[in-house]
Amino acid sequence: GGFSVDNATLTRFFAFHFLFPFVIAGVTILHLLFLHETGSNNPAGLNSDADKIAFHPYFSYKDLLGFAVMLLALTSLALFSPNLLGDPDNFTPANPLVTPPHIKPEWYFLFAYAILRSIPNKLGG
């Protein structure tokens, strides 16, 4: 048995790679929120309360709701129809009666190709 990367594997790969930046952004936002609440290290011992600016709850919740709605829309798009925004599978169906143009048989095999092509598949050709 061989190893192959199937469509399901690629779909999972692309879905996780789509979600991973949002996970990083979420952890970054959590970090900034905790940094805003508790402040950073203050080795000089200066009073930094004047520098802290409180977030207005309305704007915070509005931004979180908008982010959640956009994330829900993009996640549902990526999980329910992952091929919607991708490139189409443009492949040419194989035609056993025509040698592909990139295959150039040697001139001394041409008679054998002609004989083999003349035998139908039903007869073992």
Instruction: Output the pLDDT for position 123.
Output: 65
Task: Report if pTM > 0.85.
Answer: no
Is position 75 within any domain?
Answer: yes
6, 106, 118, 122: the catalytic one is: 106
**Considering the domain boundaries, does residue 43 fall inside one?**
yes
Rounded distance between C-alpha atoms, residue 24 and residue 30, angstroms:
10
How many separate domains does the chain show? Answer: 1
> Strand, coil or helix: what is 78?
helix
The answer as to whether 97 is a domain residue is no
Q: Is residue 104 part of a domain?
A: no
| 106 in catalytic set | yes
Domain coverage including residue 33:
7-80
- Choice among 17, 31, 36, 37 that is catalytic: 36
Q: Is 31 a catalytic residue?
A: no
Sorted by sequence, the CB contacts under 8 Å of residue 71 that are 6+ apart come out as: 22
Residue 76 is assigned to a structural domain of this protein: yes
Angle formed at CA 111 by CA 108 and CA 112, multiple of 5 degrees: 95
100 three-class SS? coil
Residue 60 lies in a domain: yes
- Annotated active-site residue 36? The verdict is yes
Determine whether 37 is an active site residue.
no
User: Has 48 been annotated as catalytic?
Assistant: no
Per-residue pLDDT reduced to its tens digit, 32-87: 888 777 766 666 777 767 667 666 777 788 889 999 999 999 999 989 988 888 77
